[in-house]
Structure 1
Amino acid sequence: MNILITGATSGIGKQLTLDYAAAGHHVVACGRNQQALDELQNIDSNHIAGQQLDISQADETVQALRSFTDLDVVILAAGVCEYLDIDNFEADLFARVFEVNVVGTMRCVEALLPNLKAGAKLVIVGSTARLLPFTRAEAYGGSKAAIHYITRSLQVDLAQRGIKVLHVSPGFVETPMTAQNDFEMPMQVSVDFASQAIRKGIEKNKIDITFPRMFGWFLKLASRLPQSWQVALSRRMT
């Protein structure tokens, strides 16, 4: 298969790149860090091609990605996380997070969609953080809630073109991004676990790839509670 992955220089995106390449697939690894891209290519230059890309840059993103055709799978995994300081409320924080997680991701869709053919799979990585009103997660959780809704609508609109749209909702995964968290992360899994879960879900065409299963089940159940109960639960967890 021909696979394009954004956010490929670290975390889940990097592990997916390595695992797909090891399985003999051809991967276009996209990321901001050229040195990290070079290192990926040095590991397996026969199966990995690097593309330097900052999805917060509109013209650069569209121009770079429109040149890729004949893709079987697109995995949009690039994202950022910033937590809100409620005593120093900053609207620009929302702009920064949404610029990458929502607008940047949709720039990738804009650039790649014209070249996707029937049978292609568009995989968008969200987060289980969208399921509950977690403390300080207004920007990050809000961006992932937006991504989830957009993905569901794309599933409707792209079905007639034969393009499968899949949504990924990871729990806590051990990555450089989560390493900055200063709170307990229950049921945290490795990037190897995450990559296996995502690849298996893509192979089975699961429109909702949520892991780890128990953590996702708990949050989905909690999200069905009355809103006041959800707030009370999140306050207790805090």
Structure 2
Amino acid sequence: MNTQPSILITGASSGIGRALTLHYANAGYQVWAGGRSMDKLQQLCNTHQNITPLLCDLTDFDAVKASASQLPALDILLLNAGTCEYIDDAKQFDGALFHRVISANLIAIGYCLEAWLPLVKQGGKLALTSSSASFLPLPRAEAYGASKAAVSYLARTLSIDLKKDDIHVSVIHPGFVKTPLTDKNDFSMPFLTSPEKAADIIFKGIDNHKNEIHFPKVFTWLLKAFALLPFPLWKLFAVRMTK
């Protein structure tokens, strides 16, 4: 009988998801690593016998639903996958970009929840990766920020409704983490964190049943403080950021 605790991590091919996969594997979990690149997933599996690839496009509902048959009961479901694109000119709003980001960061989570949440054991855990960008309206973040704000709301609502099922819900609000996505950013990223450090913080937060996991604390508390300002005052700061 397999006594290893089990976890499914999406977005395992790179960045925070890859670091989380390795962290949980090192901690003795049976890890199902979700991603769209079998080559990258296989590289992960080659490092640990307790990592199993789950090849799946999360924006394809039929594929996500079908993948449930490959999975066991789960101790943890960690929905980490996502993307980031910015609206460069709000006046020339890019509807296709908006659709891509909302689909990948939000709608796909709905698909995952329908397919995989029933597999989470009583007493298990669900974690959703949002972003500290959800704390404040930021320049060019009409798509990314909106999607992550919705993820945060979704996680908090689920934490209320899943209480009766004894499933604990954590929402993760990272600051800037060095990943292939942030490598594309053309602006300063204060308090940039390594994916390994991010994975360690997330692991401990989930293990300790934290409702919210946010880091690095200096940066995220600063954003939370700015969020307390009257919006017209914050708007003055934000407009200056674009100049």
User: Do both share a fold (TM > 0.5)?
Assistant: yes
What amino acid maps onto 2:53 in structure 1?
G
Indicate which of 115, 138, 141 corresponds to 1:134: 138
- Give the structure 1 partner of residue 232 of structure 2: 228
Indicate which of 42, 65, 69 corresponds to 2:68: 65
- Give the structure 2 partner of residue 167 of structure 1: 171
Q: Give the stretch that moved more between structures: 124-133 or 82-91.
A: 82-91
- Give the structure 2 partner of residue 149 of structure 1: 153
Mapped pair 1:106 → 2:110: yes
| TM-score between both structures, scaled by the size of structure 1 | 0.97
Equivalent-residue separation in structure 2 for 1:188 and 1:76 (angstroms): 22
- Give the structure 1 partner of residue 208 of structure 2: 204
Equivalent-residue separation in structure 2 for 1:170 and 1:92 (angstroms): 26
Q: Which runs of 4+ in 1 moved over 6 A?
A: none
Indicate which of 49, 64, 75 corresponds to 2:52: 49
**Aligned partners of 1:7 and 1:79 also within 8 Å:** yes
Equivalent-residue separation in structure 2 for 1:102 and 1:65 (angstroms): 19
| Aligned CA distance change for structure 1 residues 208 and 66 (closer, same or farther; 3 Å) | farther
| TM-score between both structures, scaled by the size of structure 2 | 0.95
**Aligned partners of 1:69 and 1:116 also within 8 Å:** no
Per-residue Cα deviation, 1:122-163 (whole angstroms, up to 9, x for no partner): 000000001111111100000000001111110110001101
What amino acid maps onto 1:52 in structure 2?
L
- Give the structure 2 partner of residue 20 of structure 1: 24
Per-residue Cα deviation, 1:85-139 (whole angstroms, up to 9, x for no partner): 2153111211110101000011111111222221110000000001111111100
2:123 aligned counterpart, secondary structure: coil
- Give the structure 2 partner of residue 75 of structure 1: 78
Indicate which of 191, 194, 198 corresponds to 2:195: 191
**Aligned partners of 1:166 and 1:206 also within 8 Å:** yes
5+ residue gaps, structure 2, are none
Give the share of equivalent positions with the same residue, in percent: 43
Across the aligned residues of Structure 1 and Structure 2, the Cα RMSD in angstroms comes to: 1.0
